Structure 1
Amino acid sequence: MNKIKNLFTVITVVTLTLSSCSSLKTLSNGKQIDKNLVGIWEGSETDKQVQGLKKDWQMTRSDDGTFILNFKTTYEGETEELIEKGNWWVKGKLFFEYHENSDETDTYKYVLLNKDQAKFEMINTEVEFEDKNYTFIDTRVSDTKSKDSAKDGLSIENAIKVKSIAEEYEYARKNCHDCELLGQSLLEHKGKPYDELRFKNADGQEVSYYFDISSFYGKW
């Protein structure tokens, strides 16, 4: 009986080890990623970095080891949005996040709570935190929500659905800082009306935002 129990234990350990290894992918740079963390995730926290500061984020981790992090912070009634990009990888139970804008790498201990939730515990960062034992949970975004959140307005296929013209300009103001308005055009695509707002950004490049106005166009 003991031999059977021991054999069962060995098989269980081997199975868990193989399962863990199968979730890892080695990149061309030699680093590894955990495929369980690939996808679009979101989370939020309040007071942990700064008292009175609320942070909401959406993290898109790709299987090539890159990420895009959309942040929204609210403090004393003021809301700011920013986008950070960089690279991510894992080593054992550690998760690494290199941020291009700061040229710094954050280190976390991570654990998968289930297939749709991961818990992160801060190990090292250059950012000061009110909570010295900072932890957070990322939750995977559903496929339906992912499709909606992936719309950035930069093409007519990814047009932002709005309820008013004012909402168009509010979105552009938040996402195109120090931009000069060049013009506005009414377009039709596959039988639906769209607005195009054209801007010149701070680098002198032209950028267009597209908006689905079918909810209100022609209804007044």
Structure 2
Amino acid sequence: MAARHGSPWPGTLAAGAALVLGAWLLHGGQILPPVPTAAQGFDVHGAPIVVAPPMRRAVPTRIRIPAVGVDAPVTRLALGADGALQPPPEEDANLAGWYAAGTAPGQSGTAVLAGHVDNSKGPAVFYRLGSLHRGDRVEITRDDRATARFSVDAVEVYPKKDFPDGKVYAAAPNAQLRLITCGGGFTREGGYDGNVVVYAHLVAGG
């Protein structure tokens, strides 16, 4: 089931279960990835968000998040036969993926990037996503040589069984970004029981 451009994704995309289920922890890892605190959720009393004018559509090629040391190439992701988003190759720990049938980062709408939290060898590209704070910057280089610069609005963690599709994937009238990985609690039987989601808006492009 393909998502229509500019519309929310279907529920099967929201669960994030296709992302690695704690492969490193299952192989003897001892440290859970950071989980966002309630203080990093949406600030309902904060100043209104001013979003920069949207950019034209272009393919993202690299993502940088200085606050957590992310500097990684971006690959295209598609849907599998079951309608779920296919994750980036697990063996490449430093690789993020963009849902290529959806909004491009910087374009008007809600762009979505996903990445593994770990693989069998250790932490992966989005391992520290849960430690981001409001105001941290996300930079996405595109194939038109422009860079879309985003500011983090909130970082939240949701149980996979109660993932808020409408909140995360809703169409936006301006340029928004979502970063998603696995997180929350962990068991050997079920892997991670949640997803960490970073919400951000475009502050500059060019």
Q: Same fold (TM over 0.5)?
A: no
TM-score range, shorter chain: under 0.3
The higher-RCO structure (CA 8 Å, 6+ apart) is 2
Q: TM-score, normalised by structure 2?
A: 0.27
Instruction: Give the greater-gyration-radius structure (CA).
Output: 1
